[in-house]
Amino acid sequence: MSVIGDINRFKTPNELAAYFGLVPRVSQSGDKCYYGRITKTGSSLGRWLAVECAQAMSLSSIPLAATYHRVKAKKGHNVAVVALARKLIVLVWHMLKKQEPYRYAPTARLREKLRKLNPALPAIARDEVAKQDPAEVFKECGLWAPAESSIGEKRAAANNRRTITRLKQKERPSKTEDKNNENYSVLKS
């Protein structure tokens, strides 16, 4: 927040991303346009923090990590982390400009964090909290609820959840692979 200052200085999310130096360098000549590495202009501390956050997010199974996995398959780890950092900066711009909380947070974890801030909040079993809508949790804590998601946002969130689920399934070895590994270890010893 201290790196950004007043969010009204930035009219668009691209301006904030440019301030952090997370936009590509553009070289144009005639009809040709070349996109290069990121510009690295602006706040190096802010860029470092955004990239570190993106690095941590890439290891988790949150919906935003789907962006990292999609880009990593095509361009590699470093480019994917920077792409996720830029997406995070754009998300922060929208949240600050609209003054809304992050609406896709896991409900149980969200309630756990808000309960630390407000100990008077009654305890609820984790499986019951998962059934709650994040808007209900915000209202319960006396905070404003985020506006209803647009159709595009719902579609993007569903796509990200499918991507994360698919990637988790790829990471788990199948039962036949487990049996083959057990047979190999028995033969080896």
When pLDDT is cut at 50, 70 and 90, the band that residue 171 belongs to is low
Is the pLDDT higher at 140 or at 10? 10
Q: DSSP string of 77-144?
A: HHHHHHHHHHHHHHHHHHHHHHT---TTS-HHHHHHHHHHH-TTSPP--HHHHHHS-HHHHHHHTTPP
Check residue 172 and give its pLDDT.
64
Check residue 184 and give its pLDDT.
46
**Do residues 25 and 37 lie in contact, with contact meaning Cβ atoms separated by under 8 Å?**
yes
Distances 148 to 100, 104, 131, 134, 139 between C-alpha atoms, Å = 11, 12, 18, 11, 14
Is the pTM of the predicted complex or chain greater than 0.95?
A: no
When pLDDT is cut at 50, 70 and 90, the band that residue 55 belongs to is very high
What DSSP character marks residue 154? H
Check residue 51 and give its pLDDT.
92
Structure tokens at 131: 């059934």
Bridge partners, 32 (sequence order):
29
Angle (CA) 77 82 86, round 5°: 145
Check residue 174 and give its pLDDT.
57
When pLDDT is cut at 50, 70 and 90, the band that residue 164 belongs to is confident
Q: Can you tell me the mean pLDDT for 120-125? A: 70
Instruction: Using the predicted structure, report yes or no on whether residue 12 has a pLDDT greater than 90.
Output: yes
- Of 3, 1, 37, nearest to 20 by C-alpha is 3
The CB density around residue 163, as the number of other CB atoms within 10 Å, is: 17
